Amino acid sequence: MRILIIEDEKPAANLLIKRILPHFPDAEIFGNLDSITASINWLESHPKPDLIFCDIQLSDGDSFEIFKNVTISTPIIFTTAFDQYAIQAFQVNAIDYLLKPIDPEDLARAVEKFKANQIQSTLELSMLKDLLTPKKTSYKTRFLVKFGDKIQSIPVEQSSYFLSEERVTFLVTKEGKKYVLEYTLEQTESLVDPFKFFRLNRKYLISNEAIDSIHSYSNSRLKVKLKKCDDSDILVSRDKVADFKKWLDQ
């Protein structure tokens, strides 16, 4: 039995090896390899292992890069603090992966799953990537609006900001035209790309291009002046200030 450890944190690797050995007392354990480069070099120059324990975030990037460069069929147990939904999806397969800090019972369950299905459960690496890579979310590209007896489709890129007033949501274009939407502001927020739009507070969801100026306000808060907007008292919610600055700096 040949086991390869790919892990860039030495204490974590040592602890993992200590917990693996009781399950595989006769195993040869190789590693720990702490980078994509070292892992590729090892896999290209050694016989393939029977099982790989692999962290996702390594010292020089995402461990999926390893398997883009080296084609192997070895089962893998990932050890990571990855997205919970991806973990749940992956657990329906024969090979498991474990959240750090690793629970001994979880490790035992993963090992038993591997042993019981050692031949049948060899996974293709393309399946791993599909399961562990977050799916690209599709966002709205247009909003259908009504004004009078007319209906118009407004491209999202023409939207400057969205405004909630008296429980009615409005789309305001870059030209300052204002249209009623059939969505709440919360629903609208979930429909647009968060890279392009940010929810300032209960009332405003804005694009970066809508910003005319930003000013410091009391208690570390921020006041925002929007283009084509008469509201001069738009404050960023206190709990959103840090995220707003990150959004501006992306």
Over the stretch 96-130, which tens digit does the pLDDT of each residue have? 767 778 889 989 988 888 887 665 544 555 566 66
* 149 in any annotated domain: yes
Q: What is the CATH number of the domain that holds 218?
A: 2.40.50.40
Q: What percent of the chain has pLDDT over 70?
A: 86
Domain tally for the chain? 2
- pLDDT in the model for residue 71: 83
Strands in 204-207's sheet, in edge-to-edge order, are 150-155, 142-147, 178-181, 168-173, 159-165, 204-207, 197-199
pLDDT higher than 60, residue 221: yes
pTM equals 0.48
- pLDDT in the model for residue 145: 92
85 pLDDT tier (thresholds 50, 70, 90): very low
- pLDDT in the model for residue 128: 63
Claim to verify: residue 101 and residue 168 sit in the same structural domain: no
- Tell me the two tokens of residue 212: 């005319």
Residue that wins the pLDDT comparison between 219 and 212: 212
Average pLDDT over residues 12-18: 91
Beta strands in the chain (DSSP E): 2-6, 28-33, 51-54, 57-58, 61-62, 76-80, 97-99, 142-147, 150-155, 159-165, 168-173, 178-181, 197-199, 204-207, 211-216, 222-226, 234-235
92 pLDDT tier (thresholds 50, 70, 90): very low
Residue that wins the pLDDT comparison between 180 and 81: 180
Query: Looking at 26-40, 134-148, 175-189, which range is the least confident one?
Result: 134-148
Residue 76, domain extent: 2-132
Claim to verify: residue 58 and residue 127 sit in the same structural domain: yes
Nearest to 48 by CA among 97, 109, 1, 115: 1
Claim to verify: residue 156 and residue 110 sit in the same structural domain: no
- Alpha-carbon distance of 46 to 43, in angstroms, equals 6
Claim to verify: residue 82 and residue 190 sit in the same structural domain: no
Claim to verify: residue 164 and residue 44 sit in the same structural domain: no
Q: What is the mean pLDDT of the chain?
A: 85
147 pLDDT tier (thresholds 50, 70, 90): confident
Claim to verify: residue 111 and residue 147 sit in the same structural domain: no
Average pLDDT over residues 200-220: 92
Claim to verify: residue 51 and residue 151 sit in the same structural domain: no
- Alpha-carbon distance of 98 to 82, in angstroms, equals 9
- Alpha-carbon distance of 207 to 193, in angstroms, equals 10
Query: Looking at 2-6, 56-60, 175-179, 239-243, which range is the least confident one?
Result: 56-60
pLDDT higher than 70, residue 93: no
End-to-end alpha-carbon separation of the chain, Å? Answer: 46
Last residue of a domain, one of 132, 158, 173: 132
